[in-house]
Chains A and B, each alone.
Chain A
Amino acid sequence: MIAIFKREWKSIFSGMLGYSLCAAYVLVGGLYFWVYNLLNLYPDFGYTLYSTTFAMLVFIPILTMRSLAEERRARTDQLLLTAPVGVPSIILGKYLAMAAVFTVPVAVLGLCPLVMRMYGTVSLAKAYGALFGYWLLGCAGIAIGLFLSGLTENTILAALSTFGVLLLSYLMPGIQTLFTVGSLLALGVFGLLAALAGLLAGIRSRSLTFGMLVFLALCMALGLLYGLQSAALTSAFSVLLGALGLFTPFESFIYGIFSIPAVLYYVSIAALFLFLAGQGLEKRRWN
């Protein structure tokens, strides 16, 4: 794992890419810091961070696009997968290297509250709590990017899909408000999900009847729920959309709340996507 971590780190910083990415990130962060905290004398560093989350939409896809896709394209995955290293070590080595790269600009931004402190009173706990949440958010995003990079051997496609997924989750709060209407729509969406689950079950078990049965059972459960308690369906739908909004839990950190659920959310998102990335790599052996 250490070997893979070191190689990945070196590879990111072997050309212009790593340096320019970090520099651009610090530049964006520094600009907002300058405008918000220095020019307008706003004492809260959390808001500055909150305003720069959009930079992750560009930073993360570019950072993660090559991680697995490039190995596959250049066939170097043959070296990794036939070496005496397990798939978890490969995924974790790469992930930690990219997380470490992301830590560089975050650490530089970490100097900002100290600068503010030199000229006034600042709650360092609040500022660094927000910075920690910010870092977790980025790390969760990197896990998603790593997973998506493992799905293709085209780095551009990997970057675009990561950007798309992150953008969608960035806009999710807005999308959520669009869908507050009626439980019928929620029923429709859940019905679609049930159909998808049925299709998947059918394909996995290679039996049409089984897939149909799964779909039918899910539909019946949904219908029952709709008949008895249609409000539950709407709120479940809202919760579902909320869980997809990667950037929302971070907001509690800005208000000075060290939110354990948010930490757990980010850690589990990262763990889930790293697991999926490992499964994706392992699966390629089999088909």
Chain B
Amino acid sequence: MIQVEHLTRRYGSQIAVKDLSFTVPTGQICGLLGPNGAGKTTTMNVLTGYLSASEGRVIISGHDILEEPMEARRQLGYLPEQPPLYPEMTVEEYLRFVAELRRVPRAQRAEQVRKAMNRVAAADMAHRLIRNLSKGYRQRVGLAAALLGDPEVLILDEPTVGLDPAQMIEFRALIRQLGRKHTVILSSHILSEVSAVCDQVLILSHGQLMAQGTPDQLAEQLAGRTRLRVLVLGEAETAARVVRGLEGVQEVRAEEETGKTQLEITLTTGADQKQQAAVSLALAAAGCAVLQMETEALSLEEVFLQLTETDSPEPDETDFEEEGGQQP
């Protein structure tokens, strides 16, 4: 179980994660979804105690990551974006080292290492140097290392990046399987991946939580959004102002061309006839005759893009792509 309360992380004056709160109950897979630079890696680095939070608390299986770091870290397996491997070691040597580091009792080490290797199907690479492994196998060895010591919580940062499609499917199946016993948090910028694997999805953008729920809930709640395309006779400015004043309107884009204005209206709810009527009446009352109106349902993908891109509160945070580790 992971509890995050009002987590804020700043790098100097820039805010990478802002007031993030969520709970992942035991045995659930939670996906952090967001474009590059949304604060996913920073969040994960704070969850694992690699970075400290500027404000707020992180509690792993009942242990505060800053106040009882040893107990909390014992319950934690972390696979960073770039697996932390020593190229000069063989796979088995490396896993034995990690097992010792993670305080696995001596008698169980060999057994746990073997199990972890089998789990990720890397047993035939046991005596290879990590230097010579492919990206896919490195990822597997990293995951095997995270599994050692049987932690309750697994934190996986973009676990499928750089894998080929077959490996990706295999890895997702593995994660789903792990989710039965462990609490898993994984990050991704691929919507389909998260909705296929996770029980709960958090959508992050510019360090803020934009939406939260099960994939189905999100699909229902978000894909309910509709876009209205309206062609009116009149000035863009007036038309846009009128529509913005209406209830249930999230965003308006207006383009004027030879006296006519094309409006793109995003509604927070489904566009029923009442809503359409309200728009056309309001426009007509302002002296803009409606020439054409059509509705268009937004896909989950589009909603995700909208949530994470157009709602940007501070547009200059793209340089958080490096997140955490590479900060000077």
Q: Which residues of A contact B (CB under 8 A)?
A: 2-4, 6-7, 10-11, 14-15, 74-86, 285-287
**Interface segment, one of B72-80, B201-209, B296-304:** B72-80
- Interface stretch of the complex, out of B44-52, B227-235, B248-256: B44-52
Classify the secondary structure of A's interface with B: helix
Contacts of B93 in A (CB 8 A): 10
- Please name all residues of chain B whose beta carbon is closer than 8 Å to the beta carbon of A74 when the two chains form the complex: 84-87
Q: Are A82 and B100 in contact (CB under 8 A)?
A: no
Asked whether B107 is an interface residue with its Cβ less than 8 Å from the other chain, the reply is no
14 more A-B residue pairs beyond the given contacts A83-B73, A83-B98, A83-B101, with a C-beta to C-beta distance below 8 A: A4-B101, A6-B97, A6-B100, A11-B89, A14-B89, A74-B85, A75-B82, A78-B50, A79-B78, A81-B50, A84-B71, A84-B73, A84-B74, A84-B102
Q: Which of A7, A14, A86, A286 contacts B97 (CB 8 A)?
A: A7
Q: Can you name the residue of chain B whose Cβ is closest to the Cβ of A83?
A: B101
How far is A79 from B86 in the complex, measured between Cα atoms in Å? 10
Q: Assess A11 versus B101: contact at CB under 8 Å? Given A81-B49, A82-B78, A84-B70.
A: no
- Which 7 A-B pairs give the minimum distances between C-beta atoms? A3-B100, A79-B84, A76-B84, A14-B88, A84-B73, A82-B48, A84-B74
B22 within 8 A of A: no
CA distance A132 to B50 in the complex (A): 39
In the complex, B108 has a CB within 8 A of chain A: no
Pick from A15, A75, A80: contact of B101, CB under 8 Å = A80
**Cross-chain contact B325 with A82 (CB below 8 angstroms):** no
In the bound complex, residues from chain B placing their C-beta under 8 Å from that of A4 are 101
B181 within 8 A of A: no
Option from A15, A78, A80, A82 in Cβ contact (under 8 Å) with B88: A15
List, in ascending order, chain A residues with CB within 8 A of B48's CB: 78, 82
B273 interfacial by beta-carbon distance below 8 Å: no
Selected A-B contacts with CB under 8 Å, 19 pairs: A3-B97, A3-B100, A4-B101, A6-B100, A74-B85, A75-B82, A78-B78, A78-B84, A78-B325, A79-B145, A80-B101, A81-B49, A81-B50, A82-B73, A83-B73, A84-B74, A85-B101, A286-B52, A287-B327
Considering the chains assembled together, what is the distance between the CA atoms of A10 and B69 in angstroms?
28
Q: Does B241 contact A (CB under 8 A)?
A: no
Nearest Cβ distance between residue B262 and chain A, in whole angstroms? 49
8 Å CB contacts to A: which residues of B94-120?
Answer: 97-98, 100-103
CA distance A6 to B94 in the complex (A): 12
Highest count of chain B CB atoms <10 Å: which of A78, A80, A285: A78
* Whole-angstrom CA separation of A7 from B87 in the bound complex: 12
Task: Find the A residue at minimum CB distance from B97.
Answer: A7
